[in-house]
Structure 1
């Protein structure tokens, strides 16, 4: 398994951002609301649920407000995320601290993109779900922060003659669906919502990313200190390529919403090969005759 992310560094930055109360929770709020809306239309009631690495707990709170959930526990990297109120199940970012078949619902808002072994984490979630249990996840996907990636790479290539990774890779929506199937989920569904956020400059965007605990966590990141000249040039390139007529710049966040069920005999099953009562050719011929 390739180690892309320094998960301890990610955890430390998320915890520090929470302790400082730096805000910038708008993206998590959007994802938590979307997950709760999708939960609200599920024709099921869930006795037990778990919010997995949800940061400020908004996903858990909104889920309870739907009336679809009786009780919800929260799993996080540290007790500080409970703010002395909610008991926390301590677990690293790639860990699911649950026994097999122990919960009906897992909510994962904006954390699965930071684990090194995403297939393994999805398998852990599926095992933790009771039969016919549901996973609802929000995962930043391909297209997220493309503008920032372009500006930083261009500035580094121009000033230093090379480039190093400064924005993390994000999963493609098709790959997300394939990973759910590989992990053993039934009836997987994935779709994408794209949000455009406007900032005064690249510097305001980077400040928000730090406030989310989302500064570059790549193991392969360059350790060479960047100069003021580099950031000024990156900001110029960003403004040249991605600004609106009023001078503000755009930042794209593409969120994949994924759902999957732990297998159960009551779920709709595909027909077995050879079990059809009419041949496809005959059906097409009938439609043509009509």
Structure 2
């Protein structure tokens, strides 16, 4: 469900040209996120998880939390579509970082028999959306799952894993709780998310304050997702990307909605305060660089979708190396042999 006002439209568009993303002294690590130089991958502590819990609890306590649900509901419905694309029933499913239950509301009990929903924010679990599937709410962190091995037939996650400090460990735990031949379907924000906001803040802060700090959290690179899923033990992988663009009256309305979604930055290296003049300048830059013909401004959300299966003997497997009975050279002669056969007829 989208925002009802005329300026708030959800659609897909190619990315508009803009200023390159912030280029700090950082390096890519195995988790796919950008961390300060010299940091050990296993010592990652990029996000303040306690602050993220407070942000999500605050958002869920608002009088009209559904006012800010439009993006989560859209992505939740797309994950549900991917579940329906799999021609099987799942007796027990798990939703990691479920929020108010944006995936479960789009599923039916014929597809998923019972659903466990976990989140770090107790208020989100208390205010969960209605669904026909029997659900169990569990207060749990995506980084430390309280479930036994080989428990679930299906694990889903929508717009939650981008706040995890140790993504490889989280994927390993998802694989651990899945039954053999179980499937994981997830979605998370990608690296081009909110590039318009990032560039506008950088330019304004550089002009007004002589330098800039990161105001949008680091995201995983899509090139790393397949590697991370494979390293966690998943096979038959599918990774694809999509862009959703939402038009807002201005930059401040965008930032208000991010706060209402519980998506405010919680990186440890975030800048606590931006001067009023810098914020006004950033809003002017945003409008000047990216405004639409109707006066609204776009915000791009890049979404990575991933599907991975836990191994089972019944799954199709690639043939062993060297077992082919026809060479590529012989395959290249097929067209000529077919044409000769037609002539002989």
TM-score category by the smaller chain? over 0.9
Is 1:50 the equivalent of 2:94? yes
Question: 2:158: which partner in 1?
Answer: 109
Q: CA deviation at 1:245?
A: 1.4
- Look up the SS of the partner of 1:49 in the other structure: strand
Question: 2:117: which partner in 1?
Answer: 74
**Correspondence 1:176-187 to 2 at 5 A:** 176-187=225-236
Q: Distance in 1 between matches of 2:288 and 2:144?
A: 42
From 281, 285, 294, the equivalent of 1:233 is: 281
- Look up the SS of the partner of 1:58 in the other structure: coil
Q: Distance in 2 between matches of 1:190 and 1:63?
A: 22
Q: Distance in 1 between matches of 2:162 and 2:115?
A: 23
Question: 1:169: which partner in 2?
Answer: 218
Greater displacement, 197-206 / 86-95:
86-95
Q: Which consecutive residues of structure 1, in runs of 5 or more, have no partner in the other structure?
A: none
Q: CA deviation at 1:289?
A: 5.0
- Look up the SS of the partner of 1:252 in the other structure: strand
Aligned residues: 288
Question: 1:132: which partner in 2?
Answer: 181
Deviation track 1:60-105 (CA, whole Å, cap 9, x = no partner) reads 222236x311110111114333327854222124222211101100
From 270, 277, 280, the equivalent of 1:221 is: 270
Is 1:148 the equivalent of 2:197? yes
Q: TM-score, normalised by structure 2?
A: 0.80
Query: Which has more radius of gyration?
Result: 2
Question: 1:120: which partner in 2?
Answer: 169
The answer to whether the Cα contact below 8 Å between 1:81 and 1:88 also exists between their aligned partners in 2 is no
- Look up the SS of the partner of 1:188 in the other structure: strand
Question: 2:324: which partner in 1?
Answer: 276
**Correspondence 1:179-198 to 2 at 5 A:** 179-198=228-247
Deviation track 1:9-44 (CA, whole Å, cap 9, x = no partner) reads 111101110011443111110111001111112111
Q: TM-score, normalised by structure 1?
A: 0.94
Q: Which consecutive residues of structure 2, in runs of 5 or more, have no partner in the other structure?
A: 1-41, 129-134, 339-345
Q: Distance in 2 between matches of 1:269 and 1:237?
A: 53
Aligned Cα root-mean-square deviation (Å): 1.6
Residues 174 and 24 of structure 1: is their aligned pair in 2 closer, same or farther, counting only changes over 3 Å? Answer: same
Q: CA deviation at 1:288?
A: 5.3
Is 1:10 the equivalent of 2:52? yes
**Correspondence 1:57-96 to 2 at 5 A:** 57-64=101-108, 67-83=110-126, 87-96=136-145
The answer to whether the Cα contact below 8 Å between 2:93 and 2:153 also exists between their aligned partners in 1 is yes
Is 1:36 the equivalent of 2:80? yes
Question: 1:157: which partner in 2?
Answer: 206
Q: Distance in 1 between matches of 2:258 and 2:224?
A: 25
Greater displacement, 277-286 / 48-57:
277-286
Q: Distance in 2 between matches of 1:153 and 1:95?
A: 35
Q: Distance in 1 between matches of 2:77 and 2:320?
A: 39
Residues 84 and 200 of structure 1: is their aligned pair in 2 closer, same or farther, counting only changes over 3 Å? Answer: closer
Q: Distance in 2 between matches of 1:106 and 1:172?
A: 22
